A and B are shown apart, each in its own frame.
Chain A
Amino acid sequence: MSPWLALSPLLVVGIGSLTVMMVDAFSNKKDDLSILSSAILIAAAAIAGSLWFGGLPPQTPEILAPYLAVDAMSQFFNITICGGAALCAMLAGGYLREHDLERGDFYSMLMLCAFGAMVLSSATDLVSVFIGLETMSLGVYCLVAFRRGSARAIEGAIKYFLLGSFAAAILLFGSALLYGATGHTDLLGIGQTIRNGNAELGLALVAMSMLVVGLAFKVSAVPFHMWTPDAYEGAITPATAFMSVVVKAAAFAVMLRVLITCFGDPLSAGAASGWPPIIAVVAVVTMIYGNIAAIYQSNIKRMLAYSSIAHAGYILIGVVAAFRVQNTAVSAVLYYLMAYTVSNVLAFGSLIVMGTRGKEAVTFDDLAGAGKRHPMAALPFIIGMLSLMGFPPTAGFFGKYYVFNAALQADSGMHWLVIIAVIASAIGAFYYLRVIVYLFMKDPETGAPQAVAMKSGYVVTALVLSAYFVLEMGITPSNYLKMALAAAAGLV
């Protein structure tokens, strides 16, 4: 396979973003950019799919080999990332016009971020990991700062930028130490050197913990979550959806690759040594903190931010389980990420559709009685909340089921982890159901601001598509699980 063909999903997104930039410069109709960018992203997802099902090369083209993988897992993430980004571009098409924020550079930046996320999720070398991470992160900082006039947006962007820079520096330091310890920058070479016992083990362990810190920041695991609520609240809602979906998926992809490929040896991936205990503790703290903090939020976007922290905790359980039952656990994580992508787009999309300019749904009180006034706009909200809660038959239920199942298969010592996760998701049901209670069972106080639903074909399309996938992944999960299993098999 020629390297051009192998790179084609990346090339389509990269060249597409430059095209969108040019169209923005020379055309006056800004709302068409939403269609253009989502069409390009969907095309890239389709190309990734046809590369995958049309037969991947047994060997990565030589020129790409150490830096980027062209395996089933990278195509899986290309599809998830491009699909999620396309849905966010559709949401933006409705949102930006409604709130008079229409600017074409949003779409090109969104696509450049998606490009960075695709590089990150297929990176097999510490150099390309860092480049992908920075491409994605720099773009996301700008997306958060998009609403320049708002103090909240700037506060969130500055916080995210400063903390993100520290996290990137720690990750880079860890990479440098890992190079010093093993003499390799490619993940496979590092893994082999450690397995053969040729590495300076103490240095490699320090490097591992630094890499874990840097990646835990990106997936917003406690205690590296401080930026999440502020950045999520400050960003415009389509950008928030993008952050919670694409950034998280790419960060988990690279976390799996680094931990399993580099540190897959028995010493650094044992039940009581190396990364599994660290990640298990982080997962427990993340689940408990995220769910409890979400209860106390009155702002819906902040509630969803803490909910995304809690979901990072559930996914981390799957990452821990990967040290023993690699295929089952990795496929569960991949399935969860795909389910989380569509559910979260649905939740944020419903939040967008529940507001017109000046009459946005910001707090729970704004939602009071909105379900009675706008039943059709409340329907996707219900499906999204039920899926995030993990209620059958939605995608979120099977996501949790597979992850917990993988943990139970992995090790008898992981039962307590699953018990805590189940308790945490029961706590989570409180704030997800609270949205539905406010929608249908509360009446607005007299004189209080009320959310008014918007009318936008773009947003409705995104909602219909994501609701379809949420329900289909919940009713016939086996097809998607097969996909995830095939993708997980590619990871060495």
Chain B
Amino acid sequence: MSIAAISFFFVCGAVAIASALITVTQNNPIRAAFSLLAHIIALAGLFIGLQGHFLAVIQLIIYAGVVVVLFIFTIMYIGPVPKPESAGRPSFAKLFSIAGMVVVTGAVTYAALGYSPALKGLNTCPEAVAECGQFGGVEAFSAALFRGGVVPFELISILLTVAVVGAIMVARGRLIYREKPRRKKQELSIENNR
């Protein structure tokens, strides 16, 4: 790996960790959402470092573009009320989350060390092989999606149709029910019968 790639990795990694910490420690939800955005962009940078260009773009579009906007929209909708700083001893929730953080960090580190490629002899992709550069790229991804996996891809379109039609069906049922109050009587008589 070149010096530039290594420094890119470290910059992105530092930004990702720092912004993740800010996200969970901020009291102001808007600031937390924006540091989440910074974290997501840094993660996309890490994906680029791993040759996952397509994943990086998707990460930006879906998470930065959609999910964060949705979060901010929801926060605005509820009203950004910063929680007052709690004085005195730290709450149970805080202690619990710090303990959880330590446990997860320990577990991940242990797993990463225990299952490192060098130790387990897993097949990693050497950079000299042409397909390895392709892996995670747009071309490789679309070939997998539209050539090998075209059947599940098309089946998912029916799944999405079911979801949309079902949502409309359930929502429309309420409208119809409101328009016809006389059905209520019948419902009641059925309930009485029981």
Contacts from A to B (Cβ < 8 Å): 14, 18, 21, 63-64, 67-68, 99-100, 103, 105-106, 108-109, 112-113, 115-116, 119, 125, 127-128, 131-132, 134-135, 138-139, 141-142, 145-150, 157, 299, 357-358, 360, 362-363, 366, 449
Contact = CB atoms under 8 A, between A and B. Distances in A.
A362 B193 contact: yes
Contact of A142 (B152, B170, B190): B170
Given A131-B156, A138-B159, A109 B166 contact: yes
Contacts of A119: 155
A358 B190 contact: yes
Contacts, number: 99
Given A100-B183, A105-B168, A112-B162, A135 B155 contact: yes
5 contacts: A105-B169, A112-B161, A131-B159, A157-B170, A362-B193
Nearest to A119: B155
Contacts of B151: 63-64, 67-68, 128
Interface stretch (B35-43, B64-72, B173-181): B173-181
A105 B189 contact: no
A63 B170 contact: no
A358 B190 CA distance: 6
Given A112-B162, A149-B187, A105 B172 contact: yes
B interface majority secondary structure:
helix
Given A119-B155, A149-B184, 6 more contacts: A18-B161, A112-B162, A116-B158, A142-B165, A157-B170, A362-B194
B186 interface: yes
Contacts of A145: 170, 173
Contacts of B156: 131
Interface in B138-169: 149-152, 155-156, 158-159, 161-163, 165-166, 168-169
A239 to B, nearest CB: 12
A142 B166 contact: yes
Contacts of B155: 119, 128, 131-132, 135
Contact of A103 (B176, B184, B186): B176
Interface in B57-81: none
A21 B152 contact: no
B166 A141 contact: yes
Categorize the interface residue count of chain B: 20 to 34
Contact of B169 (A64, A132, A146, A150): A146
A112 B161 CA distance: 9
Q: 10 tightest CB-CB pairs across the interface, nearest first?
A: A148-B173, A142-B166, A149-B177, A67-B151, A105-B169, A135-B159, A131-B155, A148-B174, A112-B162, A127-B152
Contacts of B159: 116, 131, 134-135, 138
Contact of B186 (A127, A138, A358): A358
A116 B193 CA distance: 36
Contacts of A64: 151
Contacts of A116: 158-159, 162
Contacts of B162: 109, 112-113, 116, 135, 138-139, 142
Nearest to B173: A148
A145 B174 CA distance: 10
Interface centre among B163, B170, B174, by most chain A C-beta atoms within 10 angstroms, is B170
Contacts of B152: 67, 125, 127-128, 131
A112 B177 contact: no
Nearest to B169: A105
A299 B60 CA distance: 54
A115 B193 contact: no
Contacts of B176: 103, 148
B179 to A, nearest CB: 11
A116 B161 CA distance: 12
A366 B194 CA distance: 9
A149 B173 CA distance: 8
A82 B111 CA distance: 49
Contacts of A358: 186, 189-190
A429 to B, nearest CB: 26
B122 to A, nearest CB: 11
A68 B154 CA distance: 12
A381 B155 CA distance: 39
Contacts of A360: 190, 193
A58 to B, nearest CB: 20
Contacts of A366: 193
Contacts of A21: 165
Nearest to B180: A100
A106 B166 CA distance: 10
A489 to B, nearest CB: 25
A108 B165 contact: yes
B8 to A, nearest CB: 30
B193 A14 contact: no
A139 B166 contact: yes
A98 to B, nearest CB: 11
B155 to A, nearest CB: 5
Given A63-B150, A149-B187, A115 B158 contact: yes
A148 B174 CA distance: 6
Contacts of A157: 170
Contact of A112 (B165, B168, B193, B194): B165
Contact of B165 (A109, A127, A148, A363): A109
B117 to A, nearest CB: 16
Contacts of A128: 151-152, 155
A67 to B, nearest CB: 4
